[in-house]
Each structure stands twice: as structure tokens, then as C-alpha cells.
Amino acid sequence: METIWILEDQLSPAHPALTGGPRPDAVILLIESRKRFAHLPYHQQRLVLILSALRHFAVELRVAGWKVDHHELEAAPDFLTALQRHVAAYQPTRLVVMEPNDWPMTEALGPIFERLAVPTELVPTNLFLCGREEFRLWAKGGKRLLMENHYRRMRVKTGWLVGPDGAPEGGAWNLDAENRRTFTDFARGKPPRPADPVREEPDALTRDIIALVEREFPNHPGRAAGFWLPVDRAGARRWLARFVAERLVHFGPFEDTMATGEPVLFHSVLSPVLNLGLISPAECVEAALAAYRSGAAPLNSVEGFVRQIIGWREFVNGIYWLRMPGYVTENGLGASRPLPAWLQTGETDLRCVRECVQQVLGTSFNHHIQRLMVLGNFFMLADIAPGEVLAWFNAMYCDAHDWVMAANVIGMILHADGGLMATKPYVAGSGYIERMSDYCEGCRYDPAVKTGPTACPFNYLYWSFYDRHGPRFAKNPRVAMMVRSWAKRSEADKAAVRASTQEFLARAVPLG
Ligand code: SF4
């Protein structure tokens, strides 16, 4: 008997060990390790997503004719215990596993396999379009690891949005100049949003999982009952089709817009199902390209979406495998403050932060600009320790996995990797948030005021950042001007910025 152990983020019908269909001499092993699910205080909806997806996958495999040995959460304290029970029951002569997507699981496999004393085989992952070795070779040859260069190489390799002459369709590789419309553009243009909520109604199995999570993880953040995501392949395909039909058209121009009470706007929210293997990156790209070719979606929206999939997603995975295991502990800016206590409730008087935190508490989701330019921006400006921020992102987001969040948080959001991933620190004062959202309306702080009790904290925190880190960025062409600008400020101005910063940070309460 051969055992095919499928991990909870490898729920792909194209899993290499499933090729050829059910075999009488093979059994699929699925394990819901309680230890893994309780490793962090995961958002309840993230737990529902993964558990429900696993159980739907088990049903589909059985219907297809596979023998399945499924160790459910209530009886699976950890992977080793479940594996030992499986080996005792099935006496497999071989154990096949696809390469895990993250480092901790990869590290854990060696000792587990030793204890089992069953011949094992690791098969290469097929969940990404750029292999780990391929990325490593590319990174070795390049002067700087720029996402844009990786993205162009991926465009050429796949042929997506590339003409027969090798030139990018539309004349440019990146059409962001046509995107990034402001909130005012959004409010004036009134692009139509879907009439129905972007939501998959939970079926009976998912409703059982919601009850299970409420029972087993009652103190985890969020509310399982608000669960809204697809959990199986059919749902993932519907989700993709709905995005392409309803939202892709406006995705590009408004991909950076933030609007109160609208968590999805024109985003695809495909990452939760993509990162579990329920749908493939190629399927997502092909669907968007088909919409472009039929005239249903403009090139700037489609190119922006393709860039997220074959550019950013593959790039963060490549960086992760290039730099692990040390990457998650990098702290290039020496940030050391604890997370603020109000992350548990969202009850802060910074309205932009409150909107984003309350949204993630309600939905386990923020889109990329809320993560980068509101929450991440705040965490970096407030000098919060990268390890704490990484753990919070990993716990709270429905699409979070170690490989996704490491490069996003350590590299992109916090610049903690010394600039390996991002060419500049993504910090901003109130101007960016005011331009891209409606959050400043009705905020207790004034975005136009720079210091003092009514000033927007992003303003003085922003200049304090350059006060602390100016020398480090003095030669960075993208932000050197800000360093020089801070240096030219009067001593009275600098003292006011420092005093406001100290007063604000003294009020921040650790999460504890
Ligand atoms: Fe955020 Fe400042 Fe605007 Fe308030 S004024 S919403 S704190 S950017």
C-alpha cells in the first residue's frame, strides 16, 4: 500500500501523486493537526477556510474513488501521532508527500520521517509557475532582485501579454500609470459595484465547521459565523468567474482605492483559494486574458491582475525560499516596540487604522493597499518589532501562510530585510491616505496639521522615521529627498515632531 499524504495547503486536483486517478494500492492521508491550527491565535474564519477546504477535498476524493484516511481535528493532536496511527492501520510500504510550501513544515518532515521508518518520497511542488531552483538561478545572475525584472522574465517565459516580436502588449510592461486613481476619481466616477454581496453561502459541511471552530477555538479573534469564502474547487471557479465578469474591468484603475464599508471593492480575493491549491495561478491568468481578448476588460486592469499573480505572488515565494530560514527574524531597522492592544478590537481613534482593523476582524481580509499603506505603514512608523507584526499578519489573514507573509511583511511592508525586496521604505504621511480613501472624513485627527494634539499621527511619525533612519536612506535615490528635507527643518520644527511622537507612542498600549 502506498500512502499519499496531502498537506492542508496542497488541495489541488493537479497534485502530481494523483495523476492517473484512483488506485487500489494507494490511500490518501489527510491530517488536521490541532498543534498546527493552534500554533498562532488564528482568525476563526481562516480556520474555517482551511478545515472546510480539507473536508470538502476529502469528500471529492472519495467520490472520485480514492481511499481516504482522514484524521480530523478532534482526534489529531499533531502530525506525528496521526501518522503513527495511519502507519499502524495501513502498513504502507511507501509514503509520498509533495514538497511543503513553507519552511517550518519542511523542517518538521525530517524528524517525523525518521520516527516512522517508512520509505518516503518528496515530489516537487507544482503549485507555482516559477520553481525554487529557477528563481535561485535567476537571482544569482541579477544585480538587484527587482520584482519588475522577475515579472518581465515571467511574461516572456509564459508568453502572456507578449506579442510575437517579444514586445509587451500595449507597448509597456507595466501599466500602473493608468491605474492608481484617487478616492475623488472613485467618488466622481461611481464605478458600479456588484449588486449581490461578494460571498459564497456556507453549505451544510461548512456550517458544521463553523460550529466546530466556535467550539474548539472560542478565544481566537474574529467570528467564524461571518464566514464568506469559497471552500472547494467548484466554489473557487465560481469566485474567479464572478471576479472576471463583475470586477476585473475596474480593478486596475481602483486597485489602490480604499472606501469605508467596502472591503472587496474590485479586488479578486482569489489568494485564499489560490494559496490552498483549489485553483491554479495559470487558470486565474487565462480567465483574465480571455476577458481582455473578448473586449470585456481593459488591458490596464488585466495587466495589473496578471502582475499580481505571476509577478508579486511568484516573487514573494522565490524570495522566501532564497532567504529562509533566517529571513523571518530579520530586523534591519532595529524596531522593537510591541503591538498595540487595540488591535484586538480596532478601538483606536485613528480612523483609517480602525476601519482596516475592524474589517480584518470581521472578514479576515484587507486588500493590499490597506495592508501596506495603512496598517503596515503604521507599524513601521510606530517602530513595531517585525516578528510581532509578522505573527499578527500570519494569524489574522485568510490568505496567510508562512511563505506569503515573510517577504510581504519583512521585506515589502517593514523594510526589515535591509532593502532586499523593496527599493524604498513604504512609509507615508496622511497625504497618501487622504488621497486614496475617505477615511480622513470624520477622523478625530486633522490630516492637514503636522504636530500637536489635533495633528494626524501619520504626519509626525513619518518625519520621526526619517529622524531615526535618515543616514540609512541618504543615498537611496527614491527617498534621499525626504532625508534632505528633514535635515533642513528648523530645530524648533524637529523638537515639535519628536515631542508629538513621544507623546503618541507613550499612549500606545502593548498587546500583552
Ligand atoms: Fe488616518 Fe490621519 Fe486620516 Fe485620521 S487623519 S484617517 S489618522 S490619515
Query: Residue of the nearest CA to atom 3 in ligand 1?
Result: 440
Of 27-31, 101-105, 167-171, 192-196, the least confident: 192-196
Q: What Rg, from alpha-carbon coordinates, does the chain have?
A: 24
- Any idea which residue has 531615526 for its cell? 468
Beta bridge partners of 150: none
- Strand, coil or helix: 353: helix
- Quickly count: other Cβ atoms within 10 Å of residue 210's Cβ: 22
Give the pLDDT score at 510: 74
- Residue 188 binned pLDDT confidence (cut-offs 50, 70, 90): very high
Name the nearest CA neighbour of 383 among 503, 468, 459.
468
How many A from CA of 148 to the centre of ligand 1? Answer: 31
Q: Cα-flanking dihedrals φ and ψ of residue 268, to 5°?
A: -85, -30
Indicate which atom in ligand 1 lies nearest the CA of residue 351: 6
Determine the Cα–Cα distance for residues 335 and 439; give it in Å rounded to an integer.
Answer: 27
How many A from CA of 436 to the centre of ligand 1? Answer: 12
Q: State yes or no: pLDDT of 404 exceeds 90.
A: yes
Q: What percentage of the chain reaches a pLDDT higher than 90? A: 94
Tens digit of pLDDT for each residue in 433-454?
999 999 999 899 999 999 999 9
Beta bridge partners of 11: none
Tens digit of pLDDT for each residue in 243-273?
999 999 999 999 999 999 999 999 999 999 9
Q: What percentage of the chain reaches a pLDDT higher than 70? A: 99
CB 64 within 8 A of CB 24: no
Beta-strand relationship, 67-71 and 94-98: unpaired
248: which DSSP letter?
H
Give the pLDDT score at 9: 98
CB 414 within 8 A of CB 386: yes
Beta bridge partners of 97: 5, 122
Alpha-carbon torsion angle 338, 365, 411, 175, nearest 10: -150
Indicate which atom in ligand 1 lies nearest the CA of residue 433: 8
Beta-strand relationship, 26-31 and 2-5: parallel
Residues 6+ apart with CB under 8 A from 244: 287, 288, 290, 291, 296, 297
How many A from CA of 437 to the centre of ligand 1? Answer: 10
What's the start-to-end Cα distance of the chain, in Å?
A: 49
Longest dimension (CA), the chain: 79
- Residue 89 binned pLDDT confidence (cut-offs 50, 70, 90): very high
Q: Cα-flanking dihedrals φ and ψ of residue 68, to 5°?
A: -130, 130
In 74-146, where does DSSP find H-type helix?
79-90, 103-116, 132-141
All cell numbers assigned to 469: 533612519
Beta-strand relationship, 94-98 and 120-123: parallel
Q: Identify which of 439, 449, 507 to mutate to test ligand 1's pocket (most ligand atoms within 8 A of the CB).
A: 439
Give the pLDDT score at 511: 59
CB 156 within 8 A of CB 167: no
Tens digit of pLDDT for each residue in 312-371?
999 999 999 999 999 999 999 999 999 999 999 999 999 999 999 999 999 999 999 999
Q: Between 196 and 94, name the one with better pLDDT.
A: 94
Determine the Cα–Cα distance for residues 457 and 272; give it in Å rounded to an integer.
Answer: 32
**pTM (two decimals):** 0.96
CB 127 within 8 A of CB 12: yes
Query: Residue of the nearest CA to atom 8 in ligand 1?
Result: 430
Give the pLDDT score at 195: 82
Determine the Cα–Cα distance for residues 380 and 468; give it in Å rounded to an integer.
Answer: 12
CB 386 within 8 A of CB 416: yes
Alpha-carbon torsion angle 304, 306, 311, 312, nearest 10: 70
Give the pLDDT score at 143: 64
Which residues have C-beta atoms less than 6 Å from ligand 1? 350-352, 430, 433-434, 439-440, 443, 445, 447, 456-458
Q: Strands, E, within 200-298: which ranges?
A: none
36 membership: H or E segment, kind and range: helix 34-37
Orientation of helix 204-216 relative to helix 44-64, angle to 10°: 140
Determine the Cα–Cα distance for residues 52 and 231; give it in Å rounded to an integer.
Answer: 6
How many A from CA of 508 to the centre of ligand 1? Answer: 16
Tens digit of pLDDT for each residue in 463-480?
999 999 999 999 999 999
Name the nearest CA neighbour of 469 among 460, 457, 451, 482.
482
**Amino acid type, 369:** I
Q: State yes or no: pLDDT of 144 exceeds 90.
A: no
Give the pLDDT score at 512: 46
Tens digit of pLDDT for each residue in 371-385?
999 999 999 999 999
How many A from CA of 67 to the centre of ligand 1? Answer: 55
Output the average pLDDT for the chain. Answer: 95
Alpha-carbon torsion angle 157, 163, 168, 171, nearest 10: 180
Residues 6+ apart with CB under 8 A from 499: 451
- Any idea which residue has 511622537 for its cell? 501
- Residue 117 binned pLDDT confidence (cut-offs 50, 70, 90): confident
Determine the Cα–Cα distance for residues 341 and 338; give it in Å rounded to an integer.
Answer: 9
**Amino acid type, 75:** A
Q: State yes or no: pLDDT of 142 exceeds 90.
A: no
How many A from CA of 487 to the centre of ligand 1? Answer: 25
